[in-house]
Structures are given as C-alpha cells and as structure tokens.
Amino acid sequence: MAEQGPRQDPRGERKPGLLASLSARSRGEGWEAPEGDLAKYRSRTRSALRFVLQRGVFRIVVSAAITPRTIVHRRVRTVRGPFVLVANHSSHTDAPMLAQGLPWAQARYLSTGVAADYFFRVWYRRIFVRALFNAFPIDRDGSRKNSGFSRRLLRSGVPILVFPEGTRQQTGRIGSFKPGGAALAIGVGVPVIPAAMVGAYEAMPKGRSWPVPGRPPVGVVYGEPMLAEEGESAVAFTARIRDRVQSLYDDNYEEILGHPHPGTEESA
C-alpha cells in the first residue's frame, strides 16, 4: 500500500491530521534514534530471543493449558511502524496470547506495559518480562518516575500493548476504558489496533494461577486498525475503541466458546 504523508494546507505546510495510510506519521518524518535503555526495545538480538520464547517454548506451555484460537483482520498486516494495541484484560493469559497472535512483522518489537512496583523492582521478574514481553514499566504508586516512557517508545518506532481497564476484570464483563492509550495514539500520530480476549476470564478468572482443567478455549480477535478523526478528543476516541473491542468480543464469543454469551440469552 502506498504510503502517504500528513495532509498539507494550501501554503504547503504540514497540517496535523489523519493519514490515509495506516503507517505512523513518525515513519514519514523519521523516528527518533533510540538511545540508552530505549535501544534495548529495538534490539534485533532480543527480538530473535523473544521469537523463540514466545512462539516456541511459551506457545507449547500455553497450548498445553488452553485451546487457543486467533482471528486477525486482514488490514492488521498493513500497519507499518509503531501502533497502540488495545485490549480488554481478563487473565494472565492475555499478554502472551496477544503477543503470540499478532503477525510477526507487527509483533517483532511489541512492548507490554507492566507494573513497575511488582515486576521491575525484583531482578529476576524484570529479566523475565523484558525477555518475554519486551516490557516497559508503568507506575501504579502515584509517582511519575516512568512518566512519558510509553510516548518515547512510540516515537522510537516501538509499538505498545495497553490494557485500558487498568486491571483484570472481576466479573467477566468489559469495564470502562481509561483514555491514556487513545491520548498516546493521537499525540504521536499512530493507529490503534483493537483486540478482544474471548474466553480468557472463563479459563482463568482472577485469583487462579493456572487455567481450569480441560484445555478451555481462549480466543484473541484483532479488529480493523483505527485512526483518530480530525479534532477527535482522547475521551471520544476511547469510547469508539471500547465499542469496537466490545463488538469484537460479542461477535466472536459463540464461535470461539461454542455457546451463546449468557448476557445474550438473558436479553433475548
């Protein structure tokens, strides 16, 4: 697909706005060269190791515990450069499933935000999440030590995975979305790939350290990439993203799990 730059105003100056393509604005303008700690997130050596861990070792472990299913919209493969992957959060199976399910061209440098106070303060947890998820730290304690890190990653050509609910679901229903991911996408000028985890809550609800017996079905559905509309606020874009994730969840629930969603039966 031919890449197009930002819209031009009549004076020939760059005008902020949407791209006709699904490439990031930063791709046309040039990414910032990653330096220091940021350079690790675009390391080819670390990417090769992650491929072996995610799509070899860990895939075997995941497939032994659940029956995975992946559905990818054809336009996901047209995304070039950084993006924000936004998904509902149901269980500890979400991050590995989302990382494994993306085509490798898009997933190669995908970085997942994790709690800094839990994963980055202990050396072996930090090594684990960095090796497996190319993880970056998120502050949950009110500090701003890592403020702006996700934006710097995007501007360095690194796509990120965010769970805008902020925590795992308690009831199996998709909660409200915080606008942080949408604000990042708008601010840096990158697309959002919406994704729905289906069956993850049923397979491994909060409180369990391992999926229920019987290799329950769990699916991840990647929807058509989204771009913010001209002048759209982060709050409005967040609402559209949540609606898309909910639709992906509802439309694929029965196909993946083999029975209608209980909420559908109640409302019928």
Give residue-wise pLDDT tens across range 80-96.
889 999 999 887 788 88
Q: For 225-235, what is the mean pLDDT?
A: 95
Domain range list for the chain:
33-259
Q: Residue 76, exposed/middle/buried by CB under 10 A (0-12, 13-18, 19+)? A: buried
pTM of the model: 0.84
DSSP 8-state secondary structure symbol assigned to residue 55: I
Tell me the one-letter amino acid at 197.
Answer: M
DSSP 8-state secondary structure symbol assigned to residue 120: S
Q: What are residue 172's DSSP bridge partners?
A: none
Give residue-wise pLDDT tens across range 157-204.
999 999 998 766 666 789 899 999 999 999 999 999 999 999 988 888
Please say if the pLDDT value at position 33 is more than 50. Answer: yes
Rounded CA gap, 169 and 90, in Å? 5
Percent of the chain topping pLDDT 90: 50
Please say if the pLDDT value at position 21 is more than 90. Answer: no
Please say if the pLDDT value at position 214 is more than 90. Answer: yes
Q: What are residue 138's DSSP bridge partners?
A: 115
Q: Residue 7: its pLDDT value, please?
A: 36
DSSP 8-state secondary structure symbol assigned to residue 154: H
Distances in Å between the Cα of 145 and the Cα atoms of 34, 117, 140, 214 are 19, 11, 10, 43
